Amino acid sequence: MKKILSAMLAVATAGVLAACGSGPAPGNAPGGGGGAGGQITMGFSQVGAESGWRTANTTSIQDAAKAADINLKFSDANGKQENQISAIRSFIQQRVNVIAFSPVVRTGWDAVLLEAKNANIPVILTDRAVDTQEKDVYKTFLGADFVQEGQWAGEWVVKEFANATGPVNIVQLEGTTGSDPALERSTGFSKAIAANPNLKVIASQTGDFTRAGGKQVMEAFLKANPKIDLVFAQNDDMGLGAIEAIEAAGKKPGQDIKIVAIDATHDGMQALADGKMNFIVECNPLLGPQLMDLAKKVVAGEPVPARVVTPDQTFDQQQAAAILPERKY
Ligand code: AHR
């Protein structure tokens, strides 16, 4: 009897060890269908809740996971890279089927990406890219073309000031330092405005993609620079903060100082329709459904494109007023 009991215990222990061991996450072999009962578990590390865009993005991911019957483990990093790294390590320990994340900044991911690769857990980048020398540490990158967004913003400025005979003073509210959108939108914008030597960026500083940050930096810009013709806000929230600072300084946003922003969230589009902004380039936050489709393919071992670019459009004041009633975010 003793012998039978210890044999049964050995079989049970082996089963538990296999479930917790360091082998491939369940369902991550080619053709695998996810964890228990075939349901896929996704660990998602979000940047934070810094902007209207981010809130819409989070809702999209949570809703899409439910609709796709994906078990989502969601973690908010509160804008800190170290929190994202801890979250990803915890997802690896929990042996999720797939990890997705929107990186706060572009560098510093090699070690944790290698850990996921060694644990055979596929990674999907959403919204923002990383810089890495390591090979095959993520399966695909889903998100907008940020250089293009900055370029469209700059091209509008070039047209708007085509007849300027003297210097046009531009101030730039940058996104989070070191983040993919801040770097790439700056690149696209400066490339476009180089077409007209009258266009000068006289000051550029980070507002960290927040409304409060945009307001604070704009207040400082207004104090230091008697003549500002245009604000390029790298997201709507910083543009909305700039509006508050401009109005507090007794000037009219959209008229005395023009504003171009990126995102096209509901609040930004409202300000544009109200004439307080002049032009917005869209950055679509509704990435959830595409992310879930890619996750299913990746977990099943099916091929996916290395880069999936989400399409964007641009809006002037009339277009914003027309589209606002049906705007989803
Ligand atoms: O990465 C996308 C950017 O991040 C959005 O433009 C901004 O609003 C957000 O915080």
How far apart are the CA of 46 and the centre of ligand 1, in A? 11
- Check if 28-144+285-311 and 146-283 are the same fold: yes
How far apart are the CA of 267 and the centre of ligand 1, in A? 14
Q: Is 127 in the pocket of ligand 1 (CB under 6 A)?
A: yes
Residues 54, 56, 62, 65, CA torsion sign? negative
Spatial CB neighbours of 258, under 8 Å, sequence gap ≥ 6: 160, 229, 230, 231, 278
Q: Is 312 in the pocket of ligand 1 (CB under 6 A)?
A: no
The tally of CA atoms less than 13 A away on the side-chain side of residue 206 is: 10
Q: Can you give the residue ranges of every domain in the chain? A: 28-144+285-311, 146-283
Which residue has 């700039």 as its token pair? 242
As a whole number of angstroms, the distance between CA 296 and CA 61 comes to 14
Phi then psi for 124, rounded to 5 degrees? -120, 130
What global pTM score does this model have? 0.91
Exposed/middle/buried for residue 171 (C-beta within 10 Å: 0-12, 13-18, 19+):
buried
The CATH code of domain 28-144+285-311 reads: 3.40.50.2300
Beta bridge partners of 45: 75, 101
**Ligand 1 pocket mutation pick from 101, 211, 263 by most atoms within 8 angstroms of CB:** 263
The CATH code of domain 146-283 reads: 3.40.50.2300
Residue whose Cα lies nearest atom 3 of ligand 1: it is 181
Q: What pLDDT score was predicted for residue 323? A: 96
Q: Taking a C-beta distance cutoff of 8 angstroms, is the pair 106, 143 a contact? A: no
Cα 326–Cα 323–Cα 174 angle in degrees, nearest 5: 105
31-to-35, 36, 67, 153, 296 alpha-carbon distances in Å = 12, 15, 22, 44, 11
The ligand 1 atom at the shortest distance from the C-alpha of residue 179 is 1
Q: Is 206 in the pocket of ligand 1 (CB under 6 A)?
A: no
Per-residue pLDDT of the chain (329 residues; tens, 9 = 90+): 344 334 343 333 333 333 333 444 655 654 445 655 689 999 999 999 999 999 999 999 999 999 999 999 999 999 999 999 999 999 999 999 999 999 999 999 999 999 999 999 999 999 999 999 999 999 999 999 999 999 999 999 999 999 999 999 999 999 999 999 999 999 999 999 999 999 999 999 999 999 999 999 999 999 999 999 999 999 999 999 999 999 999 999 999 999 999 999 999 999 999 999 999 999 999 999 999 999 999 999 999 999 999 999 999 999 999 999 998 89
Exposed/middle/buried for residue 11 (C-beta within 10 Å: 0-12, 13-18, 19+):
exposed
Exposed/middle/buried for residue 14 (C-beta within 10 Å: 0-12, 13-18, 19+):
exposed
CA 299 to chain centre: 23
